[in-house]
Each structure stands twice: as structure tokens, then as C-alpha cells.
Amino acid sequence: MRLPVLFAILTTLSASALAADVSVAVAANFTAPMKRIAAGFEQATGHRARLSFGSTGKLYAQIRNGAPFEVLLAADAETPKKLVEAGFAVAGTRFTYAIGQLALWSADATRIDAEGAVLREGDFRRLALADPKLAPYGRAARETLDALGLAERLDGRLVTAESIGQSYQFVASGNAELGFVALSQIWRDGQFLGGSAWRVPNGLHEILRQDLVVLARGEHHQAARALTAYLRSDEAREVIRSFGYEVAN
């Protein structure tokens, strides 16, 4: 066997031997981009990210109760901070991987105008939003209604979902005519995927800064550290932007 071929085989076998799985808890709004990032991560490093999705509040509770996650991608900055302070995450590993965008969305292409006037006009029976107690995007939706002076008027029409993923499903299935979702759920490469939407101005709610942190179980895990490094790479940041997020410098 020629030396170059033998070297290539040995290199491949060595990479396979070092490759590992990393268990990652991911906020529901980041489902689609994280699946794409995980594929790129595996191709680039040989490591595999095993993904679990849910509301940040539920993931936080699971981590506090011993769930075997090694990395958390939250939908806010506060949850990773609290985990570090309580000893469930590694100090110095927290950083902002994305800045989210809230949107009001309907599967009906004619229902929502560019200013979101449908909220004031009230031409709907149900408005979906994620649970503000569990999901930062739900909290941002509630803050938006408060800022517009519409929270009390629309209270009887609100349909509360466990996560932003379920809020999207309520609208997609027709159980709610419109709902607050993450822009990443309805946006790819500079355009809406369907229906009609209003990009909620950031001034109506707290900025959706989304932080990552390595959890205590992942402190000495090579694949956990590799994933956090990959999420800072140009390749990952390009994917994040393509789903409508901003990335921090």
C-alpha cells in the first residue's frame, strides 16, 4: 500500500476514534438553524451533536433536575447566567450566539399588513403566543402587547403554547388565525416562507439576546468545547444569519 493512501486511512481512523457525541439542549426557536449547524459540525469535526428542543424554562428545569445535557443554547441571557451562579454551568463559557427577532405571523397571505394593524383591528378569534413564564419569545410577545396597549383587550383571545414551536404549530394548523413566532421559523435566506407577517420592532420588547453555556457535565468534554468553538465560526454564523438572526461581534 502506498504511503499517502496509508496515511489517509490512519488519519480517518484516528479522527473516528476521537469523535464523540455531545448532548445539547436547544431553545425551540433555534430548531431549524441548529439542525443545519449540527450537520456542518459533524462534517467539520467528526463529533455528533445530539439535540433536544424545548422552551428555555422547561430545559432549565430539566437541567436543575439532573438531565444529562452538556451544552445549553437558551433563548435568553438570564437562564445561562442563573445556571452558572447555581453551579450547574461552567463560568467563562457563556456567550451570545444569536440575537433573535419576534414576528407576528398568519398562514393567510392577506391577513397581516406590514405594520401589524390587525392586532388593533381585531379581525381574528385567536392569537397564539408561547407561555411567557417558560419562553423568552412568549415574554417578548406579552411585552409587545403591553407596549401597544392591547394586552387587556386581547386577553380573552390568547392561546398559550408551551414553547415558540407550539405557537407556530397552532397557527400553521389553523387553530389560531395568527400568532407570535420566531422569525427563524418563517424566514429563510432573505424571504418569508409563506403566509403574511409583521416583524415586531425591537423597541416594543426586550432584546432577544440568546446565550450559550457549557453545562457542568460538559466541562471536560472535548465535543462540548468543539461545538462552542464551531458556533463562533464563519460557517455557523452564516447559517444563523440566513434564518433571520443577528450575530454579536
Distant-in-sequence, close-in-space partners of 157: CB < 8 Å, separation ≥ 6: 124, 125, 126, 127
Report the share of the chain in percent with pLDDT over 90: 88
- Over range 39-67, report the average pLDDT: 97
Q: How many CA atoms lie within 13 A of 7 on its CB side?
A: 3
Each residue of 102-139: pLDDT tens digit? Answer: 999 999 999 999 899 999 998 899 999 999 999 999 99
Burial of 189 (0-12, 13-18, 19+ CB in 10 A): exposed
pLDDT band at 6 (very low <50, low <70, confident <90, very high): very low
pLDDT 10s digits, 200-226: 999 999 999 999 999 999 999 999 999
Q: Which domains does the chain have, with CATH numbers?
A: 3-99+207-242 (3.40.190.10), 102-199 (3.40.190.10)
Q: pTM, whole model, 2 decimals? A: 0.85
Q: Is the pLDDT of residue 172 over 50?
A: yes
